[in-house]
Amino acid sequence: MTKRQLLMKRYIFPLVLAFSLIVGSVSVQASEEGGLPSAGTNVQDQASLQRGAKLFFNYCVGCHSLKYMRYERIATDLGLSEQEVMQNLNFTGAKFGETVVSHMPEESAAKWFGKAPPDLSLEVRAKGADWVYAYLNSFYLDSSRPVGWNNTVFPNASMPFPLWELQGLQTAEMKPAKTGADPEVEKLVLSQPGKLTPAQFQQATRDLTSFLEYASEPAALERHHYGIWVLLFLAFFTLLAAMLKKEYWKDVH
């Protein structure tokens, strides 16, 4: 085996394999989320994260926790002061350094909803931002459900729609029934407008999804910040490696 073949086997092939695995995983994730609208989230948009945090703590924390997030960390990452967080986001009486825990007793949640609402710390990591965004936009009135609501993304969900005042009331138009098949929703119609226009509500759910995406991986903010420096280092190292390779092989070519 020549020196060049040995170099290819030892260094180039592992890099190609790693790249193919990364591309493959991205393709699988894209196929799994096929058919969902794009959330269009951006965790680098601090204003969007602040608006999303406001929505979460006003409409979601009554039932759902973020047990891996601390109020102090949220303040630091979102550019908020301790006073702003404690006055505007903390409604459970928790201390600044404590984690975000819902104040709903588990026994009450089990009685009302059948089971305790899930913690949302890793919801976006588990299901994807597009799924969460679509879920928040897909609630509709359904008198056959115990809580009066249903969802086209997650049928027969046991959660009532907390954002109905903002979006309004959606009703479902059903497809023509097939023999022996369950009825399917063809489209959702906004039968009663809410406080926000449809475009404003979509932006609000995008902000909320962005905040949950940030909560699922807070380190992403720092990682993205340092990413440019890593790329610059790799570019500089590649230049040095090319110059070194040229020096080593000048007597061979």
pLDDT tens-digit map of 123-165: 999 999 999 999 999 999 999 998 899 999 999 888 899 999 9
Alpha carbons 151 and 154: distance in angstroms, whole number: 5
pLDDT in tens, 190-237: 999 999 999 999 999 999 999 999 999 998 877 766 777 788 888 888
* Size (the chain), residues: 253
Residue-wise pLDDT tens digits, 36-68: 999 999 999 999 999 999 999 999 998 899 999
- 0.85 exceeded by pTM: no
Distance between CA atoms of residues 149 and 253, nearest Å: 73
Query: For residue 178, what is the DSSP state?
Result: P
Q: Which DSSP string corresponds to 14-37?
A: HHHHHHHHHHHHHHHHHHHTTTSP
3-state SS, residue 139: strand
The DSSP bridge partners found for residue 168 are 193
Q: What is the dihedral of CA 21, 41, 63, 68, to 10 degrees?
A: 50
Mean pLDDT computed over every residue of the chain: 83
Stretch 7-26: mean pLDDT? 46
